[in-house]
Structure 1
Amino acid sequence: MTEKEFTLDNIVGIIKILSGEVIVGRIKCLDGNFLLVLTKDGKVFIINKKAIAYIEVQQGNPV
């Protein structure tokens, strides 16, 4: 991976869905269209990337 490339795989983030729901969890990239999100309380979400309003991650987030 070069300096300009960035991946969300295995990063903890806050995801806001277009429906207004907010999900906090560890992100796993499934493919080009979907993300798998594992929450702290054990829930699993599969989210279409087109349904995401924004994703917030902190700089220096542990991987």
Structure 2
Amino acid sequence: VGGVTQSLFFTPFSATLLAIRIGTLIGTRRAYERGGLGYWLSPFADLLAWIVVVRGTMFPSRQWRGRTY
């Protein structure tokens, strides 16, 4: 509206989810002895897990323990 296009990825819903994820990260930081770089970069693992789930849904594996289905 008003010539401003809304981004496909950054919506109020995604901003809320991001705020919840960062809040959870901040809230749990004292539960770990060392809140190193890996701890603070852990939200990127969420994205990788999402990609793996979507890939598995779109292209399911037809093989398990050497058997083809």
TM-score (norm 1): 0.22
Question: TM-score under structure 2 normalisation?
Answer: 0.20
The structure in which a higher percent of residues are helix is 2
